[in-house]
Amino acid sequence: MHTIYTAPKRAKAQPFLSPNKLALAISLAMASAWAEPITQLELSNVAVTGNPLGVSSDAMVLPVSILSGRELSLNREATLGETLNNLPGVAASSFGPNASRPVIRGLDAERVRIMQNGVGILDASSLSFDHAVAIDPLVIEQIDVVRGPAALLYGGSAVGGVVNAIDHRIPTEPVNGIIGRTEARVGGPDNQRNAAAVVDVGNGQFAIHADAYKRKTDDLNIPGFAVSNRKNQADGTAQENNGKLINSSASSDGGALGASLTFDNGYVGSSYSGFNSNYGTVAEEAVRIDMKSQRLDIASEFRDLNTVISRIKMRYAHTDYQHQEIEDGEIGTTFTNKGSQASLELGHAKFGDLEGVLGMQFQNSRFAANGDEAFVPNVHTKSHAVYLYEEMPLKALGLDQLKLSLGGRAEHTTLHASAWDAKDKPAQAADFTAYSYALGGLYSIDSHWSVASNLSHNERAPSYFELYADGAHIATNQYEVGNPNFKKERSNGVDAQIRWKDAKNSFSIGAYYTRFNRFLGLLDTGRTRGTDGSINPPADANGFVDGTDGEESILPEAQFTAFAASFKGLEAEGKFNLANYWDLSLRGDYVRASNLDNNAALPRITPLRLGAGLNYQKNALGARLNVTQAFKQNRTAENELPTAGYTDVSAMATYKLPSKLNVELFAKANNLLNQEIREHTSFLKDLSPAGERSVLIGLRADF
């Protein structure tokens, strides 16, 4: 029996270890490295997400992008969404410079599964776009992005795709001596000052990991007014604060300690990490979010067991998350999310050419919201899932060039919402059993060309806010209403890719189509609500509920609604070596999303984007030039304004210093044309543009 409880208000969480003290310890360890032989640990640049068999990305049926090592370091931004924004098929929700989730193929929030080391993130970022993801890219070593609904191993929330941030806080390979990296940068349109240090120390069997980071930014400098001309002309919103995005500053820090025992065929280890962030919400000039998250991870894997079970992999994470929304120094609303997630994966020995895994996953979390802007009740969510993934080259049938993959997943989810006294609502409960499956194939035409395709059926249990929301959501300027009678969201999808690779040259182009028989979307009802819940209240001359002296705002009502929808699009990417020192990269994506019940466009869909990059690298000197052309988006939902196109030009210069350590200086110039860049995927596109033309300088070192 499980008891439903309301998480109590807690004292302000303290960092598990002062980042300054941890950074000092790491610096001392780095200094000692000058006196000791250094053994470099080469971590393979292989996707660990999307295929549990550990094959290279070229041999994967699913479309996967990998960002790691130097490329990740040079492309880091303040948020996970902005770091991935230029990958094909991936955009960013861009709720100001401090809160941005990845948007994959037009899908966001609950339909994009964000993980850390293969275990889901417990925070509140999918509930509201102004809530940041509890991961800082400064300490991430690799990011895998799996696009499309065939990523069903990770749950119904992966219908859009999966983003897995890998930090190596639990060492999985033997470490001999001391290895690590440091990174620091200053400048940019927000005058950022940040630094991070990561170190691993080991004797070949026992390894200890430590990392620490600190980030600080000022209000973002912007090219013009924060409010767009379109919004000013549409509803008369005043254009103020020219050149500055008010309340967009941020300060964050964190770190981790981890350790593991490594063996010839595996490892066992654990880590403890802390994440702290305080940032302005941009949508409300007097509101800041103070966010804390502490996480315990345990992981183990053993391979080559020479039994029917050839591999065992276990992962567990316990998270204690809290954020408080503070207005004029007073705590208005407190959100907490506390719980555990775990997975156990068993790889079986080959049966002929058949190879695969059986996996089990578990999640138990308690979400609570208390305060003036709590628009959802306290909810206890539990889920249990089992999945199967198999791959088989058809060599026995004489089809050496064809490999098939098959996956299936069954997941049972229960949600218990506590009684909500503020809304006079009793306790409610719901449970769902979702089934998903996918069939894929990879056909190698020759040593250079291949074709991949996936068919999938996906079912997703509604989230707690889609079921139970009922309140004013000030960040999105809506009164949101859920539907406790929702059934499962259901979709069918197909995607296909043509791939080519020859030495340093590669190219791929793909198309996809996903049709939702039942899509759960937030639609404007045409009615208004007072923040007290009153329907179509009379308004005074200032837009407040008449007779309340400005105490009750009037907001448009938006209701979670089930309807048929389709998402279809194209993705392309190419990398070409032009000459000895010159490389060219090309990319592009397009997505079109529709409400099939009324043939209307869905909101916040990425427009057509094309990009090109030219890279020069000779010995210690490097240079880059990148151009992204985003076209205007005129296909908009009801009550949504269009956005203009933009051309984003950036440049970078790098220089590797002649030193014992691998030290590289870099300087990056952003938005060289000083354009007004407004991402159509953002709720704040008409209130919060990207930063102005700026220069950032940094240093990175590996040892």
Give the model confidence (pLDDT) of 57-93 as tens digits.
Answer: 677 888 888 999 899 999 999 999 999 998 999 999 9
Query: Averaging pLDDT over each range in 50-64, 470-484, 591-605, which range is the top one?
Result: 591-605
Residues 6+ apart with CB under 8 A from 435: 408, 409, 410, 411, 457, 459
CATH H-level, domain 19-702: superfamily = TonB-dependent receptor, beta-barrel domain (2.40.170.20)
- pLDDT of 7 strictly over 50: no
| pLDDT band at 273; cut points 50, 70, 90 | very high
Total residues found in the chain within this entry: 703
Phi, psi of 460, deg, nearest 5: -135, 130
Phi, psi of 631, deg, nearest 5: -85, 165
Q: For residue 647, what are its two tokens?
A: 């051309």
Report pLDDT for 165: 95
**Distance in angstroms (rounded) separating the CA atoms of residues 406 and 419:** 43
**Helical H segments across 424-475, by residue range:** 464-468
Evaluate whether 537 touches 552 at the Cβ level (below 8 Å): yes
- What is the Cα 375 distance to its own chain's centre? 24
- pLDDT of 8 strictly over 70: no
Stretch 301-317: mean pLDDT:
95
Evaluate whether 121 touches 26 at the Cβ level (below 8 Å): no
Helix or strand (DSSP H, E) at 283: none
Angstrom CA distances, 248 to 122, 160, 288, 317, 672, stand at: 24, 29, 9, 31, 22
- pLDDT of 10 strictly over 50: no
- pLDDT of 37 strictly over 70: no
**Distance in angstroms (rounded) separating the CA atoms of residues 346 and 303:** 10
Evaluate whether 90 touches 65 at the Cβ level (below 8 Å): yes
**Distance in angstroms (rounded) separating the CA atoms of residues 132 and 78:** 11
| pLDDT band at 550; cut points 50, 70, 90 | low
Q: For residue 641, what are its two tokens?
A: 């304004």
Report pLDDT for 428: 96
For the chain, the domains span 19-702
Evaluate whether 603 touches 591 at the Cβ level (below 8 Å): no
Q: For residue 255, what are its two tokens?
A: 């770190």
Stretch 260-276: mean pLDDT:
97
Q: For residue 661, what are its two tokens?
A: 């350590």
CA dihedral of 427, 363, 383, 136, whole degrees rounded to 10: 90
Least confident of 338-342, 473-477, 545-549, 581-585: 545-549
Q: For residue 401, what are its two tokens?
A: 């060039």
Evaluate whether 127 touches 134 at the Cβ level (below 8 Å): no
Stretch 50-54: mean pLDDT:
75
Stretch 293-316: mean pLDDT:
96
Phi, psi of 279, deg, nearest 5: -150, 155
Least confident of 13-27, 280-294, 601-615: 13-27
Q: Rounded to two decimals, what is the model's pTM?
A: 0.90
- pLDDT of 3 strictly over 90: no
**Distance in angstroms (rounded) separating the CA atoms of residues 280 and 265:** 47
Q: For residue 134, what are its two tokens?
A: 């509890």
Calculate Rg over the CA atoms of the chain.
25
- What is the Cα 173 distance to its own chain's centre? 26
